[in-house]
Structure 1
Amino acid sequence: MKKIIDLLNAEVKDAFEKAGYDKEYGSVTISNRPDLCQYQCNGALAAAKKFKKAPIMIANDVVALLEKSRTFGEITAIMPGFINIKVSDAFLASYVNEMNQDERFGCEKTENPKKVIIDYGGANVAKPLHVGHLRSAIIGESIKRIGKFMGNDVIGDVHLGDWGLQMGLIITEFRKRNPDLVYFDDAYTGKYPEEPPFTISELEEIYPFANAYSKEHPEYKEEAMKATNLLQNGHRGYMALWNHILNVSITDLKKNYDNLNVSFELWKKESDAQPYIPDMVEYLKENGYAHISEGALVVDVKEETDTKEVPPCMILKSDGSSLYNTTDLATMVERRKLFNPDAIIYVVDKRQELYFTQVFRCAKKTKILEEDTQLTFLGFGTMNGKDGKPFKTRDGGVMRLENLIKEINEAVYEKVMSNREISEEEARNIAKAVGLAAIKYGDLSNQASKDYVFDLDRFTSFEGNTGPYILYTIVRIKSILGKYQNEIGQLPQGAKMKTAFNDSERDLMLELVKFNEVMYNAYQENAPHKICQYVYEISNAFSKFYHETKIISEENKEQQDSWITLISLTAGILNQCMDLLGLEAPDRM
């Protein structure tokens, strides 16, 4: 289906041309004064200078050609030359009925589908997920779902950190505590145990201890660096331990990501890129892209138009060791070989913008990627506490993500239990769904690049622009549909929606018909917050309609079926939008 705004544009542009003016002046937009009209065209104001004619005269000429159109219920020229538009109820109902016949609610897939990789995990093995990982996970998951919905082949990659000094620190500390294990016996040639010699809890305690200890004891850090080097050069015992670390960590990470309703098609790691590094470095040298600067191998990425300093992209340090830059570039080489993507999107903290500017420029300059491969840095802001500083625990530490989820679920559980008498099991299930909506919607409703304040009371509220409010709207519609089935019979099949009975019904229809355009804009701009705003506006429109309309008690069966069909469509669109945000409504709240 064409967007409703495109249908209006086509008709108004045609009228401008028939009236003797250039058709591009007939651009229609949603009205910024909904109290006056639904749509507007301000083209007559721009056309006045070219055609040396008063704007109101141009507007009157156009309106005269459109007044008898079945598309418009009311179209008027207003001083000094605005064209105010209200679509006809018949046109609106026809469009909504056509949406209802389409399983995608009229949203067309992109004309040019792409293969896209989204890098949006960034977790490190042997470390628990904390609130700093929240935004990357849920923003990336939503963008991936939107991209798939629009017809692209989208691959989400968690891209785990598993190959740096942290591994050496863990191995060094574990050896210090358990020196007699076979992993540290260089003479051992047998098969290593299949069971890991530690739990996830022990693993998560070891790393922060070792990291802190290394900062106070240079000789310990030196030992850890040697262990890292041995691991990266294939030491049997260390490789076996590393595999245990991966297995234990990934099992725990998957559980925590599942709790966020976040999943990845790829569980790739930094270590997966290592085999590509030697050939890549040789390629950069042979083709004259890289040169030695102060002992390090670098690629210059500064451009003449830069207004601030952009340092060279370092490929190897003076001691020959690699860096994050090296791994990220090698990962691009790997992704090109395995997937040949049209685009790669990185969902990362916005404070890393300069780093990604260097890496992207290096990849393009050195032709590591195809010339037309699109690279996007989607930098997100920080989640702050009410003090405006990055969110912390009460004692000032970084909060584990699972603890944040528990805290929110408990807050929602108490609200659920205080409002109705239900079993504890059902209340816990409701709290889990609503708590997740509180977290994810509270985050996604903000523009990704902006910092925002995490407010537990506001996010868990069942009123206002919150996840629980949206879920409550869906649950309310489910309740009405359930009541209809219990008291009246099967939901009407193939019923048509009639023209709007009152203003609130018309306003609800006007929100629903924006679906196609909202999806397109959210996709083009990588902007889940646009979907959040849309579902909030639908929910408000439905709430007003619900309070003004007695659906179940309506005696006119045709009218009742029309309303049931309308709210079924409303629920379908809300559910589709919430799925794109990574959320799902319970059956009751």
Structure 2
Amino acid sequence: MNIKNQIKNILTDSANALGIENLDKLVVSFSNRPQLCDYQTNFAMIVGKPPMELAEKLVEKIGNVEGFEFSVAKPGFINIKLKDEVLNDYANYVDQDEDLGVEQLKEKKLVFFDYGGANVAKELHVGHLRSPIVGEALKRLHETMGNKTLSDVHLGDFGLQMGLTILQLKIDGFVDEFFKIDVDLNKIQIKGVTLDVLNEEYPKASKRKDVDEKFKAEADQITLYIQQQKQPYFEIYKQIKALSIKEIEKNYDMLNTTFDFYYGESDAYPFIEETINKFVDQGLARESEGALVVDVAREGEHIPIPKKSEDEPQRYKNPMPPAIIKKYNGGDLYATTDIATILMRNRDFAPNEIVYITDNRQVGHFEQVFRCCKLAGVSPKEQKLSHVAFGTMNGKDGKPFKTRSGETVKYKDVLNMLIEKAEAKLVENGIIGDKELARKIGVGAMKFGDLSNTVSRDYVFDIDKFLAFDGKTGPYIQYTIARINSILNKANFEGGNKIRVETQEEREIVLAILKLNSSYRVCYDAYSMNALCLSVFELASAFSTFYNNHKILSQTDEERKGAMLQLCLLVKNCLSKALYVLGIDTVEKM
């Protein structure tokens, strides 16, 4: 039941009857002045002169339509108000619909999501938070609207950090057993190496590489050995990877983030040679300073930028630089492994779309990778390759979030900070010792605070604002659901009644559900969840007004009471569905 489409069809019929063209410009949107109307269109202002006259003709032609009121407002808007019977029908339709009125895609597809981006042997830090938060929500959104999905954390397990870590472990004597003559590598386990040790070894090695060229060169060589599966380096690498994955899984579990696959760059290694040969055999690769590169710049990219004044020097748009697919020493780069990974995914799954979720510093990299894939036929023409580039999580000073000493904040420290703060707020409300409830509230606060922002923008991490139990926050939505649970429990209500809209507050609730359900498609098209966050907050606010202005449980008219309780249940279900899509847990009480 798509009310916006019903309105558009009514307007289209009227325009056709009047011989008006340019119907592609007819857009119906929610009113930005809800006190006047529920929907509006500026169609008459775009296609006709004078707009008021055209708008009046359109409305006159429409006449009386059951369920809708059309009117004209200066300087040419057509306003549409929904009658209560339409809202009644819609509310009861949503209440009975298994999808709760969320639009289902007409053409379903398989979408492969690549997010998370954890690195083996390196502790997750605050910079790793946004990718799983955004990626998990987008994946759930696609599933909710009917697509099939697959997801992969795509571990960074073949990069320089592995060479650096293993070299440092070797220097510090942790892996001596692996280098003994005639050793059986199948019977050796790394001793004394824990995650805490790895978290000390890598930073130590990373600092040393910046001042010790010989050390850096040896780490590069070990990285190459790992890529070539040369022993004993490859066995050491495998054991470090297994140790790291256990911790990575725990961290993602805290965030309600799941993956179908824990593949890494190493899984694409068998496809590397074939990938490079695709470019060489088609004459797409050339040698440059000992490396193998692919030209991905397109004709017309190096074009002059118009001057704002005669005195301004001429500037040009820079063309996309060549993509390096093989280093001078024979090693492979991120571009190579990413292209090979796309080749692997297409062989194994043939998804209609592959979506990468990373920070916005990777925009150029993925544009190069996508262009390479299309040039060489690694990705078929009809396949969509998408990159969702997110902004930075900053501190209150507007700079990237760090500790007071200027160090990068650990991933788990951020979550623990939120959980501890949530636990303290629960104690204030008389709830003591419920750590799981605190986790749900703290993590929910983090996720909602993040997803409320347009994905591409930076935002400020404000723990007090995120954890507020009122306003546009995750805890406020969770609290609203808990409040509804309390009402339904006190009434021993199990559902089955008809909803009946009789008051302005009930109108506002159903209109908020309309907006909420339309926001799913907005988020789908934008690859950003902020519209859903806004709509779910508006629905929670509309319910709060309804609850404060009406005594539900003390209603003496049982039919009226049942209708109001059924509306409460519908609000709870709509809010809960939205939180699920956002990757946020609901709570029974707060």
Q: Could you tell me the TM-score, scaled by structure 2's length?
A: 0.94
Task: Tell me which amino acid in the other structure corresponds to 2:169.
Answer: F
Classify the secondary structure of the residue corresponding to 1:348: strand
- Does residue 443 of structure 1 match 2:443? no
The code of the aligned residue for 2:195 comes to I
Which string of whole-angstrom CA distances, capped at 9 and with x for unpartnered residues, describes residues 189-221 of structure 1? 363235764111111111111221232323322
> Counterpart of 2:41?
41
Q: Secondary structure at the match of 2:149?
A: strand
Hey, what does 1:68 align to over in structure 2? 64
CA contact (8 A) 1:105 1:515 kept: no
Match of 2:100 in 1: 105
**Preserved CA contact (<8 Å) 1:117 1:155:** yes
Q: Which runs of 5+ in 1 are unaligned?
A: none
Residue 415 of structure 1: which of 419, 425, 429 is its match?
425
Deviations 1:204-244 (A, max 9, x none): 11111122123232332233233223333323322221111
Matches within 5 A, 1:102-501: 102-178=97-173, 181-189=176-184, 191-193=186-188, 197-306=192-301, 307-420=317-430, 422-424=431-433, 426=434, 428-485=435-492, 490-493=493-496, 495-498=497-500, 500-501=501-502
Shift of 1:155: 1.1
TM superposition shift of 1:323: 0.9
Paired residue secondary structure (1:236): coil
Task: Pick closer, same or farther for the CA change 1:492–1:340 going to 2, 3 Å.
Answer: closer
Q: Distance in 1 between matches of 2:355 and 2:248?
A: 22
Distance 1:463 1:163, change over 3 A: same
Structure 1 consecutive aligned stretches of length 4 or more whose deviation exceeds 6 Å: none
Q: Measure, in 1, the Cα distance between the counterparts of 2:192 and 2:479.
A: 47
Indicate conservation of the 8 Å contact 2:113/2:354, yes or no: yes
Secondary structure class of the residue paired with 1:303 = coil
Q: CA deviation at 1:522?
A: 1.2
Q: Which amino acid aligns with 2:39?
A: Y
What is the alpha-carbon distance in structure 2 between the residues aligned to residue 191 and residue 257 of structure 1?
Answer: 30
Partner of 1:118, secondary structure, is: strand
- Shift of residue 268, structure 1, vs aligned partner: 0.7
For the residues of structure 1 that align with 2:261 and 2:26, how far apart are their CA atoms?
A: 47
Secondary structure class of the residue paired with 1:268: coil
Give aligned pairs, total. Answer: 574
Q: Is residue 528 of structure 1 aligned with residue 541 of structure 2?
A: no
Q: Counterpart in 2 of 1:538?
A: 539
Residue-by-residue CA offset, 1:375-406 (whole Å, 9 max, x unaligned): 11111000000111100012211111111111
Q: Distance in 1 between matches of 2:200 and 2:74?
A: 71
Deviation sequence 1:86-125 (CA, Å, 0-9, x none): 1110111111111111010122321111111111111100
Q: Determine helix, strand or coil for the equivalent of 2:232.
A: helix
Which one-letter code corresponds to 1:545 in the other structure?
F
Tell me the residue number matched to 2:12: 13
Q: Partners in 1 of 2:263 and 2:141 — Cα distance?
A: 22
For residue 178 of structure 1, report the CA deviation from its aligned partner: 2.1
Contact 1:16 1:23 in 2 (8 A): no
What is the distance in 2 between the residues matched to 1:109 and 1:339?
Answer: 23
What CA distance in whole angstroms lies between the structure 1 residues aligned with 2:209 and 2:26? Answer: 68
| CA-CA distance at 1:41 after TM superposition | 2.6
* Amino acid of the structure 2 residue aligned with 1:95: Y
Cα distance in 1 between the residues matched to 2:191 and 2:141: 39
Question: Would the alpha carbon gap of residues 587 and 196 (structure 1) be closer, same or farther in structure 2, given more than 3 Å must change?
Answer: farther
Give 1:67 deviation, angstroms: 4.3
Inter-partner Cα distance in structure 2 for 1:248 and 1:26: 58
CA contact (8 A) 1:447 1:527 kept: yes
Task: Show structure 2 runs of 5+ residues with no match.
Answer: 302-316
What SS class does the counterpart of residue 325 from structure 2 fall into?
A: strand
1:55 and 2:56 correspond? no
Residues 26/398 of structure 1: CA separation in 2 closer, same or farther (3 Å cut): closer
Partners of 1:365 and 1:235 in 2: CA distance: 32
Give the structure 1 partner of residue 308 of structure 2. Answer: none
Q: Secondary structure at the match of 2:187?
A: coil
Alpha-carbon distance, 1:451 to partner? 0.3
Distance 1:294 1:542, change over 3 A: same
C-alpha change, 1:346 and 1:179, in structure 2 (3 Å) is closer
Deviation at 1:177, TM superposition (A): 2.2
TM-aligned CA deviation for residue 527 of structure 1? 1.6
Q: Deviations over 1:473-508 (max 9, x none)?
A: 1111111111111xxxx4231x1111x222111111
Residue 569 of structure 1 deviates from its aligned partner by: 0.7
The answer on whether the counterparts of 1:465 and 1:536 sit within 8 Å (CA) in structure 2 is yes
Q: Is the 8 A contact 1:4 1:514 kept in 2?
A: no
1:469 deviation in Å? 1.0
- 1:243 is paired with a residue whose SS is helix
- Per-residue CA distance 1:348-379 (angstroms, 9 max, x = gap): 11122112111111111121111111111111
| TM-score of the aligned structures, taking structure 1 as reference length | 0.94
Deviates more, 1:248-257 or 1:313-322: 313-322
Letter in 2 for 1:382: T
CA distance in 2, matches of 1:112, 1:4: 21
Residue identity opposite 1:154 in structure 2 = T
Alpha-carbon distance in 1 for matches of 2:337, 2:81 = 56
Supply the AA of the counterpart residue of 2:517. Answer: N
Worse overlay, 133-142 or 331-340: 331-340
Q: What is the alpha-carbon distance in structure 1 between the residues aligned to residue 579 and residue 174 of structure 2?
A: 52
Q: Any idea what SS the aligned residue of 2:412 has? A: helix
Distance 2:58 2:175 in 1: 89
> Which residue in 1 is equivalent to 2:307?
none
Instruction: State the percentage of identical aligned residues.
Output: 39
Q: Is contact 2:175–2:190 with CA below 8 Å preserved after alignment?
A: no
Amino acid in structure 1 at the alignment position of 2:376: T
Pair 186,532 (structure 1): closer, same or farther in 2 beyond 3 Å:
farther
Post-superposition shift, 1:564? 0.8
Change (3 A) 1:194 1:552: same
| 1: CA distance, partners of 2:532 / 2:175 | 57
Match of 2:72, SS state, is strand
Q: Matched residue of 1:234: which SS?
A: coil
Q: Cα offset for 1:184? A: 1.5
- Hey, what's the Cα distance between the residues in 1 that align with 2:542 and 2:384? 39
The DSSP-based 3-state class of the residue aligned with 1:34 is coil
Q: Distance in 2 between matches of 1:59 and 1:170?
A: 70
Contact between 2:449 and 2:473, CA under 8 Å: does it hold in 1? yes
SS of the aligned residue for 2:356 comes to strand
